[in-house]
Amino acid sequence: STDGDAEQEEKIAEVASPPPPPKPAPPPPPKPTPTCSSEYVPVCGANGMTYKNECLAKTSGVVIDHAGTCDTAEETPPPPSASAAPSPIVEESETPLSGAYPDFIVRALSHFGGVLFEGNQLSFSAVVKNQGTERAFERFNTGLYLDVGNNEVFEYSFTPQEVHALEKGEEATLIWKNVWTQTPGTHTIGACADSEKTIQESLEKNNCETLEFTVLGKVDNADLLISGVHTSPSSPAVGARMTFSADVKNTGSRVATSPKFKLLVDGVVAANNSTIAPSEENGYDKDLDPGEEDFIAWTGNWIPKSAGSHTYEICADSNDAIAEVNEEDNCKEGTFMVAG
């Protein structure tokens, strides 16, 4: 019958139709970006930088050298061939991410704590600000770097400072105290917020600020020379009032401000911290301009009590206030005879 034929055809069609293909397995979920804890278990990286914990070091792509903080010798300086500062030391243009993110900048960078002169200790400070549209939910580090040769190669890296999770618009002031002994020349200091790139920001290439400064050296300073020493009278008697004097010259390139002088007789200090007497010849001041010559004198500070040979010495910069190129020509000795 017609109904039987239709039923038979339907069964044949069911047998002929292939089974539906199996559904593909869902792709594995993406591996989450590791979130490091704020636990402080410091490790020292092979780059000489101290990281808060092992996780932060590894997520920064740093090989761990050993547990614990890096020694000072390890932190400064890293090899000159490898720049210690991250590449964003020089700002680059970029398009901000859409959405709410923090954005860290170094708003101010300065040096303090000492005159810019060779051999003095120098400190640095940086003000870090979150200028983004979202608060930070984690702490981060700010790095400090020094370009000694002022050639855009930051040879020195100082211990990073940790910054707490900044609210929108919040700032934090960081201090690196007495971290560098100054060398003469022009240098550049650089500071980078979130230097280890642990936090996603709306802008990633505006984290750094630099400051150029110049340190004077001994060659730029005053340099005192005692060129001659004298006594009067030439043959003093026992009990006579004597005068000791010295010719002094500033051979340096800066003014020597009220330099101090010392007189020793037979190895004993007879006068100290004495200054040049103001006179019409020297412009009524106690200073020595570059190239200027003058003299220092003492009368009655030492009276001979016995006959015979005696020695004396006169020294300039007796309080070591002037850093000079040549410290060996500050003193000059002489001898004299006291008549019997």
Give all domains of the chain, ordered by start, each with its CATH number: 38-75 (3.30.60.30), 100-216 (2.60.40.10), 224-338 (2.60.40.10)
pLDDT category, 84, cuts 50, 70, 90? very low
**Percentage of the chain with pLDDT > 70?**
78
Strand blocks (E) in 89-138:
104-112, 121-130
- Write down the pLDDT at residue 94: 79
Reference 248, options 237, 256, 238, 240; nearest CA is 256
Is residue 299's pLDDT more than 80? yes
Residue 14: which H helix or E strand, with range? helix 2-16
pLDDT above 60: residue 179: yes
- The least confident of 43-47, 72-76, 257-261 is 72-76
pLDDT bucket at 236, cuts 50 / 70 / 90: very high
Choice between 62 and 209, residue whose per-residue pLDDT is larger: 209
- Flag whether pLDDT at 252 surpasses 90: yes
Sole residue written with tokens 């020089």: 90
State pLDDT tens for residues 119-175.
899 999 999 999 999 999 999 999 999 999 999 889 999 999 999 999 999 999 999
Cβ–Cβ < 8 Å for 156, 89: no
Please give the pLDDT value at position 8.
Answer: 55
Residues written for the chain = 340
Q: What is the per-residue pLDDT across 28-68, written as a single tens digit (0 to 9) for each?
A: 443 343 456 656 677 777 766 666 678 766 765 667 888 88
Beta-carbon contacts of residue 301 (< 8 Å; ≥ 6 apart)? 244, 263, 270, 271
Any idea which of 66-80, 88-102, 326-340 has the lowest mean pLDDT?
Answer: 66-80
Q: What's the pLDDT score for residue 80? A: 35
What is this structure's pTM? 0.55
Rounded Cα–Cα distance for residues 324 and 315 (Å): 14
Q: What is the pLDDT of residue 32?
A: 43
Pull the structure tokens for residue 191.
Answer: 């500071």
Q: CA-CA distance, 312 to 314, in Å (whole number)?
A: 7
Please list, residue by residue across 206-233, b when 16 or more beta carbons sit within 10 angstroms of its beta carbon and e when fewer do.
Answer: bbbbbbeeebbebebbbbbbbeebebee
Q: How confident is the model at residue 76 (pLDDT cuts 50, 70, 90)?
A: very low
Lowest mean pLDDT among 37-51, 100-114, 132-146, 216-230: 37-51
CA 146 and chain centroid, separation: 7
What pLDDT score does 54 carry?
Answer: 82
The string of pLDDT tens digits covering residues 307-328 is 999 999 999 999 988 888 888 8
